[in-house]
Amino acid sequence: MELSETADGVGSHLTLRIWHPECWTLKVTEANSGGILGHGVYSVGETLKGRFTVYAESASELETLVEAIDTSPLTKSVSPLASRGGVDTQVPGTGNASRSLIVEYGDDHSINDALVSKGFIPDKAVWIHDGREYWTVVVEADRDGIRNRLDAVRESMDAEIEVQRIVADPRESDGVLSQGLLSERQRDVFNLARRRGYYNWPREVSATDLADELGVSKATALEHLRKAESKLFDVLP
């Protein structure tokens, strides 16, 4: 998304899609099924500790993902938080099994400090899946300031950062949906996803659940959603 499409102002909310080298969360989610929610990190000397929720569609896939985290050369220690039966209560919309972990790792490849130092304040848990991180942040800057700060993070971390959404004043999309921007099918699928909590955090329904309700394949449901999202993101402020 081009930042020039947005209005000037402060207090903007951004959704960022990020890749950066030598990051354990990206490497393990690129190579394995499932994903990770990052709930925050803090410094311990020259290392970082963070609490993460690891999730997958099945207990066996979860174990494989946790093992990959534990054996990664980029992590120093992995400590599961106490839970009955070893698997936490299901994270809505993110699979059938999940587990909370405390992970310690080196701070030299973390992008957290680079973002925070430039004024990008995390507003939600960081979602990591398929080798990409998805950050929701708040920043007090106009569009030129945002662009310059993101460029600085890209350069310092050798990172790829895509602005998926920027909103100066968060609002509902009903006005946009009524203007004929979406096809009838895209509007139906998108409205169903909103009603069922697909865009809540964590998700309350999976893409598979939506597809089953619509009577289509998961790939078809996701294609309708992606096309709708792309059109809506282009006209948001």
pLDDT value for 236: 44
List beta partners, residue 101.
52, 80
Separation between Cα atoms, residue 199 and residue 221, nearest integer Å: 14
Q: Give the residue among 25, 24, 28, 3 at the shortest CA–CA distance from 14.
A: 3
- DSSP 8-state assignment for residue 91: P
| Contact assessment for residue 146 and residue 12, using Cβ atoms and an 8 Å cutoff | yes
pLDDT value for 11: 67
State the average pLDDT for the chain. 82
Tokens describing residue 173: 């999309």
Separation between Cα atoms, residue 197 and residue 112, nearest integer Å: 28
pLDDT value for 83: 58
- Which domains, and CATH codes, for the chain? 3-19+111-167 (3.30.70), 24-106 (3.30.70), 174-235 (1.10.10)
Q: CA-CA distances (angstroms) from residue 176 to 21, 69, 97?
A: 38, 42, 36
In which residue ranges of the chain is pLDDT below 70?
1-11, 83-95, 168-181, 200-203, 231-237
pLDDT value for 13: 85
pLDDT value for 62: 94
| Contact assessment for residue 161 and residue 134, using Cβ atoms and an 8 Å cutoff | no
| Contact assessment for residue 166 and residue 120, using Cβ atoms and an 8 Å cutoff | no
pLDDT value for 168: 64
